[in-house]
Amino acid sequence: MEAALECLLFVSGEPVTLAELARALDRDEIAVEAALRSLQIGLTERGSGLQLLRIAGGWQLATRPEHAEVVGRLLTRGSSKLSRAAMETLAIIAYRQPITAPEIEAVRGVSVGGVLKTLLERRLIQEAGRKATIGRPMLYTTTPDFLHYFGITDLSQLPALEMDAPAPAPVPAELIADGRAPANGAD
C-alpha cells in the first residue's frame, strides 16, 4: 500500500486528507495513517530528497529543507515574504476570526484596507459573510493557504496569546517531521 500511497501523494498538487487517501486506496483510515507514518520513516531512511509532511489539514510530499538552495536555483520563488503590516494583520485575523476591518484597525491603530487587499489576493484570508452590525462590515477568516504558507496543520498550532512578553516561538512539529518523534512529543 505504501507504494500506492506514494503515487497518490506524488500526483497531488495540494495536501490530501486522510479521508481522501483512504477512499482512493479503499482502505480504512487507521491503516492508511499507519502506512503514511511508515512511508514518512521510509523516505528518511532511504535518504530521499523528499519528505512527507502533515500540512494544512492533509498530507503532502515536499522537498527537504537542506536542498532549498538547489531547488531555489531551478525554480524562482514567485511570492515575496509578507510585509510587517501584512504579518500583523494576519496574526490578528488568525486569532480573532471572523473579524471585520474596523476591529483589526482598533487593534493595530492604523487602517488596514490595502493590507487586506494584498492578503486576499494572496488567498491567505477570505471573506466570510458580513457581520450583523451597523454597516454590515465584511468578516474575514484565514484560509487553508494560510496554514500552508506557514507550514502548519491547523490553527491550534498557533502559540497561545500572552499578555506579557511573548514566549519564544515553537517550531511546528510537522515541519521538522522526519518520522522520528515530533519535537514537542505531542502526537
The upper half-sphere exposure of residue 37, i.e. CA atoms within 13 Å in the direction of its Cβ, equals 9
Distance in angstroms (rounded) separating the CA atoms of residues 74 and 172: 27
Residue 186 contacts other proteins per CB under 8 A: no
Min CB(135)–other proteins separation in Å: 20
User: Strand, helix or coil at 46?
Assistant: coil
Site string for other proteins, 39-78 (x = CB under 8 A): ------------x-x------xxxxxx--x--x---x-x-
Residue 135 contacts other proteins per CB under 8 A: no
CB atoms within 10 A of CB 162: 8
Residue 158 contacts other proteins per CB under 8 A: yes
CB nearer other proteins, residue 27 or residue 64:
64
Question: Strands 99-100 and 125-130: what pairing?
Answer: unpaired
Min CB(32)–other proteins separation in Å: 20
User: Strand, helix or coil at 176?
Assistant: helix
CB nearer other proteins, residue 28 or residue 73:
73
Residue 5's nearest CA partner among 49, 60, 48, 50 is 60
Residue type, position 91, single letter: A
Query: Which positions touch other proteins (CB under 8 A)?
Result: 10-14, 51, 53, 60-65, 68, 71, 75, 77, 80-88, 90-92, 94-95, 107-111, 120-121, 123, 149-152, 158-159, 161-163, 165-172, 175-176, 183
